[in-house]
Structure 1
């Protein structure tokens, strides 16, 4: 356990130390010393801005991500179960998956509005939908037929077998979608948003508040790390059975 913690912390500590040393005597306006950046970080983000910018960004991210998770899993199970439905929807899914979500930001904002949160939530949900949906489809398609036959024999609902069996694949898509959600949260806030972390970073950049701009980038990185840790804890508990089965299979070899 201690070795894992040391291994996880070692690289970030080294990178921060290098950043500190390389910028310690910096006179560049655009590359201020890390000490100056950290000095203004608490006053910039841990006051009123935490309520007016950080909280709205997190709320948009979570709403969009959860919408994509529910729709993606439900649609993915339906498509994965039905070969006919899969044949009908596969060309359309491949087409929409190939469109980069940031390209749709101006289009979505045009119809849903630039200043409100609706366009941001829709952008995040659409971007997160595809990895969850496609991974769910593949996970359902890969469910062992023996499990399905067993469920039918015991008259169990199909979803009671399909969802756990496809769980690892669904979790992989959800993990990928989470990183996409953070990226789209920032990108969507660059288009006419009146608040949010992304909007604040752009505002700092336009007003030449460079140390404050760098603090926004640091806050985004910390937010990504925090969300990743929360997801790992949830995944660890939800897929505990899968790890136990995998360990038992390895021990039997």
Structure 2
């Protein structure tokens, strides 16, 4: 009877969802239409880009400086957001306080707010005569039109990725294990480090990867607060736009291809690390 019931359940499950062939076919079609075809168009676009032209653009000091700014600030912002996002998710999940739902909704504000509006607002706040910038100026700290300002903008647009990735894991975490650790004499920090944190590492890596990927290609919220100074605060997406405005399509394609390659390799490394962490945690 048990075997018959299992067979019936399996048949019912097959009726609810499409089979592997149909599901895989739709997945390949959707990914090809949304991701592979646009990237292939970038690779196959005949813009007069030769290998010599590509190497010349890729090794240009201005291009290399823009990559350092984009990748460096994106990595720093994603790292800070990983820590702050964990703290915010912890507070929203583990504590009840007045206005909790309002603060929970505000986490998603960077998703809904146009990035250009965020860039203008951040520039006004962190400029030398802004609310926060005027407080930092006497300390010798200049935020707007510096890499620090770029990092702040990327932190603003990247924090929801970490919070929304870690929050469900915290909600589903079993409290019994924490209580057992406390019963055995483990303190709060040891319980967090040995019991809770290992279960959060995969989601933290995912949040970091998402925030980092968003930061690499961010344009609207950064273009105002960065100051766009070549070799100092010019980001790679802005350099691509500048080359397009100058009708240098080959140069813009070269910058975009190199940025795509670097981003893909970095995200691939993060995904491999995430898979290894999940495998070792089992």
1:201 equivalent in structure 2: 240
2:266 equivalent in structure 1: 227
Whole-Å separation in 1 of the counterparts to 2:217 and 2:260:
11
Matched, 1:81 2:104: no
1:251 equivalent in structure 2: none
What is the TM-score with the length of structure 1 in the denominator? Answer: 0.74
Helix, strand or coil for the counterpart of 2:265?
Answer: helix
Question: CA offsets per residue over residues 161-205 of structure 1, 9 Å max, x none?
Answer: 222223343344333323222232x44443341222122112212
Provide the aligned C-alpha RMSD in A. Answer: 3.0
Comparing 205-214 and 233-242, the one that deviates more: 233-242
Whole-Å separation in 2 of the counterparts to 1:232 and 1:162:
21
Whole-Å separation in 1 of the counterparts to 2:38 and 2:145:
37
- CA distance 1:155–1:227, change in 2 (3 Å): same
- CA deviation after TM superposition for structure 1 residue 241, in Å: 3.0
- CA distance 1:59–1:152, change in 2 (3 Å): same
Whole-Å separation in 2 of the counterparts to 1:109 and 1:18:
36
> Between Structure 1 and Structure 2, how many residues are aligned?
221
- CA deviation after TM superposition for structure 1 residue 69, in Å: 0.9
Conserved in 1, the CA contact under 8 Å of 2:119 and 2:153? Answer: yes
2:28 equivalent in structure 1: none
Q: Work out which of the residue numbers 142, 163, 167 in structure 2 matches 1:133.
A: 163
2:103 equivalent in structure 1: 92
Q: Look at both structures and tell me which one has the larger radius of gyration over its CA atoms.
A: 2
- CA deviation after TM superposition for structure 1 residue 95, in Å: 3.0
Mapping for residues 1-253 of structure 1, pairs under 5 Å: 23=45, 32-33=47-48, 36=49, 38-82=51-95, 84-85=96-97, 88-98=99-109, 99-100=112-113, 102=115, 103-113=117-127, 115-156=145-186, 157=188, 158-160=191-193, 161-184=195-218, 186-191=219-224, 192-194=227-229, 195-242=234-281, 245=282
Whole-Å separation in 1 of the counterparts to 2:207 and 2:39:
31
Whole-Å separation in 2 of the counterparts to 1:20 and 1:222:
11
- CA distance 1:166–1:110, change in 2 (3 Å): same
Helix, strand or coil for the counterpart of 1:239?
Answer: helix
Whole-Å separation in 2 of the counterparts to 1:236 and 1:108:
36
Q: Which runs of 5+ in 2 are unaligned?
A: 1-31, 128-143
Whole-Å separation in 1 of the counterparts to 2:157 and 2:217:
10
- CA deviation after TM superposition for structure 1 residue 124, in Å: 0.8
Conserved in 2, the CA contact under 8 Å of 1:72 and 1:133? Answer: yes
